[in-house]
Amino acid sequence: MALVASVRVPARVLLRAGARLPGAALGRTERAAGGGDGARRFGSQRVLVEPDAGAGVAVMKFKNPPVNSLSLEFLTELVISLEKLENDKSFRGVILTSGACPAGGCLVALTCDYRILADNPRYCIGLNETQLGIIAPFWLKDTLENTIGHRAAERALQLGLLFPPAEALQVGIVDQVVPEEQVQSTALSAIAQWMAIPDHARQLTKAMMRKATASRLVTQRDADVQNFVSFISKDSIQKSLQMYLERLKEEKG
């Protein structure tokens, strides 16, 4: 399944999803406004899916305010929604729309096949972990490096850069920057290009290109979790995180 990310947030295009997370049940189903033949939207507390079976595409909207943080509950609902679409062979593509795209939000966008960012100076995308006094895990580093290259990724990670639209396009972390009102229509046009390719050929090529990164994550997952817990539990790191949060409060105040 093809994935396109739209950020009006960034927009992402998804082409097939994976593993199941336990938990969360999907909520009620209802007819989608303007949906395709017999299309019914479904969702949960944090994820709304608006499918168009006629076009073979679904638009997935994140609604986990205030910043669509990637909590376990949110990720569980996201994976269940993707799995439901994946098991329905009438759908070949998914457009993800989200708001904030630093850190984990950036990773979600990077896993998609195509990324579209609204041309608004309030929106940015990047991995800003070092600004919090922590470091991006290797699987985040690998994914960013695969997208923008080693030198650009090294600079972005060391400085914790968040790229506004023009810079994001220049460095290659997004594929298009468009006016905010054109984000979804552009995503629909982009995903049509991906869906024009035979699924098996595109999916096998994607798996080939991303195999090394995915395999490294799977084989080192347990060690990565242990290292993160040990690192984040240090008093100095906790103090650094607290200082960052207090600075954010001052900026908002």
DSSP secondary structure letter of residue 61: E
**Whole-number Å distance between alpha carbons of 75 and 55:** 26
Task: Yes or no: say if 109 and 187 are a contact pair by the CB < 8 Å rule.
Answer: no
Report field, pTM of the whole predicted structure over 0.85: no
Distance between CA atoms of 86 and 152, rounded to whole angstroms?
34
- pLDDT at 9 exceeding the cut of 60: no
Look up tokens 């810079």; give the residue.
167
pLDDT in tens, 65-81: 877 788 889 989 999 99
In single-letter form, the type of residue at position 41 comes to R
Give 193-250 as a DSSP string.
Answer: HHHTS-HHHHHHHHHHHHHHHHHHHHHTHHHHHHHHHHHHTSHHHHHHHHHHHHHHHH
| Separation between Cα atoms, residue 249 and residue 24, nearest integer Å | 32
Whole-angstrom distance, CA of residue 125 vs CA of residue 104:
10
Give the pLDDT of residue 100.
67
CA gap 2, 203 in Å, rounded: 9
The average pLDDT across 145-161 equals 97
Backbone torsions φ then ψ of 74, nearest 5 degrees: -65, -45
Residue 253: pLDDT band by 50, 70, 90 thresholds?
low
Structure-token pair, residue 42:
């479904």
- What CA–CA distance (Å, rounded) separates 120 from 247? 24
What pLDDT is stored for residue 181 in this prediction?
93
List the structure tokens of 60.
């997935």
User: Minimal CA–CA distance to 15: which of 216, 185, 210, 220?
Assistant: 210
Q: What is the pLDDT of residues 185-204, one digit of tens each?
A: 999 999 999 999 999 999 99
Q: How far is CA 229 from CA 105, 120, 213, 224, in A?
A: 21, 36, 22, 9
Which H helix or E strand runs over 58? strand 57-62
> At 20, is the pLDDT very low, low, confident or very high (cuts 50, 70, 90)?
very low
